[in-house]
Amino acid sequence: MTGRRGFPAGFLWGAATSAYQIEGSPLADGAGASIWQRFTHTPGLTANDDTGDIACDHYHRWREDVRLMRELGLNAYRFSIAWGRILPDGTGAVNQKGLDFYRHLVDALLESGITPMATLYHWDLPAALDDRGGWLNRDIPGWFADYAAVAFKALDDRVKFWATLNEPWVVTDGGYLHGALAPGHRNQFEAPIATHNLMRAHGAGVQAYRAVGKNQIGIVVNLEPKYPATDSPDDIEATRRTDAYMNRQYLDPVFFGSYPPEMQKELFGQAWHPFPDSDLEEARQKIDFLGVNYYTRGVMKNSPAVTVEKASRVPQPNATRTETGWEVFEQGLTDTLVWIKERYGDIPLYITENGAAFYDPPVASNGRIDDPLRIDYIQRHLRAAHTAISRGVDLRGYFAWSLLDNLEWSLGFSKRFGIVHVNFSTLERTPKASARFYTEVIRSNGESLFE
């Protein structure tokens, strides 16, 4: 039941993180290097040459971090498992110490009444697998399913929600097409192969789960609703193309077992492949929930010179923009959630990431950090989520990105998304005003948003 203005009973109120962004000690206790270890250790690829060597030192401070979550009143926590901590070579021998780290973390969460949601792949591919072609190797679904099975066997008695992949679009677009993210390739002919193998790996992971799992499994995608900059037919078509590229490219195979027609016809041309139907059957497995990461929208205009998309964003002059340049547009969240229901049917949804990087003032002498823009962002998006619920969307949880300021990938530590401030010299954690605000929201199951 939804309260008058509150959220459904049992709603998950969480925060999210990912392994490489917070853990630090990426090679500790026998872990194998990941593509992010290599990427950050290649000079010039990240802001300030920042690396995840220490990050938030969560690998050692996880007890403190769980205590913090409890103090903030979270009832759920989304984290990711580093594949290379469990299987240092990506396949083969299991590293018990890596499994133990996550087992202890999950035990501590459960003791604190916090429901764990574990993501199996948040971008940190074992480097040993990259040496064998990584996401371009047709064997990777099998490697992924074997790794996933080890994680399920060790943790499914404690982890209620599993996600196969985090944001396959970013893995391909950032890692294989434009190269701003690991492994840093820029190759239009590789991108479709990476995408297709990601989709097959997702399906193989779900199948492996059905063999042993007792709880729930889904996938996490980043969605960005696209709106035309003008009502010219060219801009409307550009909008449709970018929607296919960013949104439908990943959801259509998961739900329909096919790729949008735009992929070959309008986006990749000869770089797209005639993928066999049997592969798409493999990708299309029944999932228990869909995780949606939502940050912003795209207002698009036709730009034939742009690689693949042949469209570009039009900045909105009066909009508030975050430090990463993203327009604050909460209506896009409502639109996205309703669109999923209309296009793909009634699947339980979780907002698995939502948040903003804004400039934060230093910690004041009274220990406070006021981040009014982040509070405003979260409030607007939670209200927008509530609107979607009142329009019949089966939304069951919200995870703020992020619990902690952390390594924002190639932007290093220069952008802070946390509701908890991290001093990267002392590693001290200080909840920002947005964390206090969120605590109130949770305590009232969302009613305080409307006061």
Active site residues: 167, 353
Q: Does 80 bind ligand BGC (CB under 6 A)?
A: no
Q: Does 296 interact with ligand BGC (rule: CB under 6 A)?
A: no
Q: Tell me the closest approach of the beta carbon of residue 93 to ligand BGC, in angstroms.
A: 28
Q: Is 65 in the site for ligand BGC (CB under 6 A)?
A: no
Give, for 399, the enclosing helix (H) or strand (E): strand 395-401
Rounded to a whole number of angstroms, the minimum distance from the CB of residue 79 to ligand BGC is 11
Q: Which is nearer to ligand BGC, 170 or 378 (CB)?
A: 170
Helix segments in 224-275, DSSP class H: 233-243, 249-256, 262
Which of residues 115, 222, 296, 334 is near ligand BGC by CB under 6 A?
222
d(CA 242, CA 399): 26
Any idea what the Cα angle at residue 161 is, between residues 160 and 167, rounded to 5°?
165
Smaller CB separation from ligand BGC, 289 or 417? 417
Helical pair 331-344 and 249-256, crossing angle rounded to 10 deg: 30
249 lines the binding site for ligand BGC (CB under 6 A): no
Q: What angle do CA 64, 357, 180 make, to 5 degrees?
A: 100
Nearer to ligand BGC, 174 or 260 (CB): 174
**Nearest residue (CB) to ligand BGC, 293 versus 439:** 293
Is residue 117 helix, strand or coil? strand
Which position among 36, 350, 398, 401 is part of the footprint of ligand BGC (CB under 6 A)? 401
Give the Cβ contact number of residue 261 at 10 Å.
Answer: 12
The residue type at 67:
R
Q: Which is nearer to ligand BGC, 222 or 302 (CB)?
A: 222
User: From the CB of 57, what's the least distance to ligand BGC, in Å?
Assistant: 18
Q: Does 328 participate in binding ligand BGC (rule CB under 6 A)?
A: no
Task: Give whichever of 213 and 291 is closer to ligand BGC, judged by the CB atom.
Answer: 291
Query: Residue 295 Cβ, how far from ligand BGC at the closest point, in Å?
Result: 6
Name which of residues 163 to 192 contact ligand BGC (CB under 6 A). 166-167, 170
- Identify which of residues 79 and 102 has a Cβ nearer to ligand BGC in the complex: 79
Residue 330 lies near ligand BGC (rule: CB under 6 A): no
Task: Give the DSSP per-residue string, 9-76.
Answer: TT-EEEEE--HHHH---TTGGGPPPBHHHHHHTSTTSSGGG--SSSTT-HHHHHHHHHHHHHHHT-SE
Cβ closest to ligand BGC, residue 124 vs residue 130: 124
Structural contact between residues 427 and 45, judged by C-beta atoms closer than 8 angstroms: no
Q: Pick from 294, 288, 311: which is nearest to 237 by CA?
A: 311
Is 448 an interacting residue with respect to ligand BGC (CB under 6 A)? no
Which residues, including other chains, have CB under 8 Å from residue 38's CB and lie 6 or more apart? 127, 130, 182, 183
Binding of ligand BGC at residue 335 (CB under 6 A)?
no
Cβ pair 82, 19 in contact under 8 A: yes
**Secondary element (H or E) of residue 448:** none
User: Which bin fits 304, alpha (ψ -120 to 50), beta or left (φ > 0)?
Assistant: alpha
- Minimum separation from the CB atom of position 276 to ligand BGC (A): 30
Token digits of residue 385:
């989520």
Distance from C-alpha of 66 to C-alpha of 52, rounded to nearest angstrom: 20
* One residue of 34, 197, 293, 322 binding ligand BGC per CB under 6 A: 293
Instruction: Annotate each residue in 14-53 with x if it binds ligand BGC (CB under 6 A) or - if it does not, as one string.
Output: ----x--x--------------------------------
Closest CB 191 distance from ligand BGC, rounded Å: 17
Smallest CA-to-CA distance from 25 within 103, 97, 92, 76 is with 97
- Which strands sit side by side in the sheet containing 226-228, from one edge to the other? 226-228, 298-302, 311-313
Q: Is 354 in the site for ligand BGC (CB under 6 A)?
A: no
Q: Rule CB under 6 A: is residue 279 a binding residue for ligand BGC?
A: no
Q: How far is the CB of 14 from ligand BGC (least distance, A)?
A: 14
Q: Could you tell me which of 439, 437, 370 has the C-alpha nearest to residue 69?
A: 439
Cβ-based nearer residue to ligand BGC, 167 or 266: 167
* Among the listed residues 102, 150, 408, 446, the single contact to ligand BGC using CB under 6 A: 408
Which residues in 107-136 contact ligand BGC (CB under 6 A)? none
35: left (phi over 0), alpha (psi -120 to 50) or beta: alpha
Of 77, 165, 113, the C-alpha closest to 397 is 77
How far is the C-alpha of 364 from the C-alpha of 2, rounded, in Å?
39
Stretch that binds ligand BGC, among 65-73, 162-170, 279-287, 342-350 (CB under 6 A): 162-170
Min dist. Cβ of residue 399 to ligand BGC (A): 11
Q: Which residues bind ligand BGC (CB under 6 A)?
A: 18, 21, 166-167, 170, 222, 293, 353, 401, 408, 417
